[in-house]
Chain A
C-alpha cells in the first residue's frame, strides 16, 4: 500500500516545526511515531500534502518526576512509559495501560502525544489522562497553553488542539492520601485496541469510605469520557462489591454506545459495566 505523495520537513526545534507548518499550510500534519497516521495514509484515509517530522526535536521526550507532578514529554514512547520506575511508582495504571498498547514494536514507536492528539475512539491513553486529570501542554506560534484532559477530547478523533499547535508535555498530578489506581481493558484480539478500557482511581477517607472516585472510559463511545454518574454514586459510600456493581450500571450514561462487527451495543454496554467493576475493585485493592 502506497500513500499519496507529500512534502517532508524534518524539524530540529519547535521553532523550525512552527516555521515549516507556516510554509506547508493548514493541511500539513505533524508526524511522531506514525503508528496512527501512517496506516491511515496507506489506506488514503489521510492524504496530507506535507508531513512535519517532530522526532528529531530535542527535549520533547522523557519522563520527569517533580514535586508538583509527573511530567512526560509528548514524544515519549509507550514502551518507555510502561517500564519507567517513576511512572510505576506514581501512577501504576499509566504504566499498565502503556504496556498493553498493541505489541512491543508498536510501543517502541508510538508516542503518548500522538496517542492523545489522535484521539482514536479505541485508544487506551485518553481514558488514563481523564482519570488522572492530566494537563496537556500545547505550544503554538502564538504561545503556550495548558489544557485540562476534561476539555481536550471534544469529538470523534477531535481534540481542543488547533492545527498549528503541538502537544509538548503531558502532566499528571502526583497522588496524595490513600489512593489506588488500575487500568482494565478488553483488547480487540487482533489489534490490541480497547473494545472497552476503564481507568479507575479510588481514594478512601479515614472512615474507609470513598472520598474521591474517577473513572475514565475508552472504546465504548466515539471518544473517551469520564463516567461521572458512576463516580458521584460512589463518593461517601463504602467500597463494597454491591455499591461498586450498582454504580457501574451507569458506566455508559455519559456516551452513545458504539457498535461494530466485533461488539454490539448491548455487548459493549455489558463490558463497560463489567470492566468498571473490575477496575474499581482492583483500584481499591491497590490502596496501600
Chain B
C-alpha cells in the first residue's frame, strides 16, 4: 500500500514518454501537467468539471477532465495530451480537420475538444451529428457555435477510416 503525506512521487507515461516527478498530494492533474511538466496545451477553463478544456486521454481511450483528478491518482498510468496528438508539420487528422473546417476561433477549447473527439471516434468511427453533439456535450466552446466542430469530426472520421487516401498521420 502506498502511503503518503504531502509530497509524493508520480510515475506516468505521458505522450509516450516515461516521467517521474514529485508533487504535493493535493495537486490537481491539470496543474501537474501544466506547471510541473510544461504541457500548457492542457487548458483550465472553469476548474469545476464543466467546460472540458482540461480533457486528456487516460490509458489511451478514456477522456477525463484533469481538473477533477489528483495527480497521484494517475501514478502507473498513461496519458495523452494535445502535445502528443500531432506535430506542427504533421498534424493529426483531427487537428487537420479542425483547421480545414474552421472548427476553432480563439482555440481555448480546442485541445480538450480534440482529445474528446479522439475518444469518441475510437468507440464510434462513424458517428451521426446527434452522436457527435451528445458525445461532446462535456466540452464547451464559446466561439464557434459548434457547427464547424461537428463538420470537422465528420471529416476526421472520414480520413481516419480511410487513411490511405490522405497524407495525414494515422492513429
Chain A residues contacting B121 (CB-CB under 8 Å) are none
B135-A42 in contact (CB<8A): no
**Can you give 15 contacting A-B residue pairs, CB < 8 Å?**
A4-B26, A5-B6, A6-B26, A7-B3, A8-B2, A9-B2, A10-B1, A19-B1, A20-B3, A31-B73, A34-B69, A53-B72, A102-B138, A103-B52, A103-B138
B135-A53 in contact (CB<8A): no
Chain A residues contacting B120 (CB-CB under 8 Å) are 104
User: What are the 7 tightest A-B residue pairs by CB atom distance, in nearest-first order?
Assistant: A103-B138, A10-B2, A7-B5, A8-B25, A105-B138, A16-B1, A105-B65
Give the complex CA separation of A106 and B64 in angstroms.
7
Answer whether A105 and B52 are a contact pair too, CB < 8 Å, given A7-B5, A55-B73.
yes
Answer whether A9 and B1 are a contact pair too, CB < 8 Å, given A1-B47, A104-B63.
yes
Chain B residues contacting A4 (CB-CB under 8 Å) are 26
A-B contact count (CB 8 A): 95
**Cβ contacts B1-38/A at 8 Å (1 or 0 each):** 11111101000000000000000111010000000000
A35 at the interface (CB under 8 A from B): yes
Chain B residues contacting A23 (CB-CB under 8 Å) are 3
Which bracket fits the contact residues of A? Answer: 20 to 34
A9-B62 in contact (CB<8A): no
B170 at the interface (CB under 8 A from A): no
B25-A191 in contact (CB<8A): no
B4-A7 in contact (CB<8A): yes
Q: Which secondary structure dominates where chain A touches chain B? A: mixed
A261 at the interface (CB under 8 A from B): no
Give the complex CA separation of A191 and B138 in angstroms.
10
Chain A residues contacting B116 (CB-CB under 8 Å) are 104-105
Tell me which residues from 23 to 74 in chain B have a Cβ below 8 Å from any Cβ of chain A. Answer: 24-26, 28, 47-50, 52, 55, 58, 62-65, 68-70, 72-73
Give the complex CA separation of A192 and B41 in angstroms.
27
A3-B62 in contact (CB<8A): no
A104-B70 in contact (CB<8A): no
Q: Select from chain A the residue with minimum beta-carbon distance to B72.
A: A8
Chain A residues contacting B50 (CB-CB under 8 Å) are 190-191
A109 at the interface (CB under 8 A from B): yes
A38 at the interface (CB under 8 A from B): yes
**Cβ contacts A84-117/B at 8 Å (1 or 0 each):** 0000000000000000001111101100000000
Q: Which of B49, B69, B138 has the most CB of A within 10 A?
A: B49
Chain A residues contacting B1 (CB-CB under 8 Å) are 9-12, 16, 19-20
Q: How far is the CB of A129 from chain B (nearest CB, A)?
A: 23
Give the complex CA separation of A55 and B76 in angstroms.
12
A53-B63 in contact (CB<8A): no
Chain A residues contacting B5 (CB-CB under 8 Å) are 7-8
Tell me which residues from 108 to 157 in chain B have a Cβ below 8 Å from any Cβ of chain A. Answer: 116, 119-120, 135-139
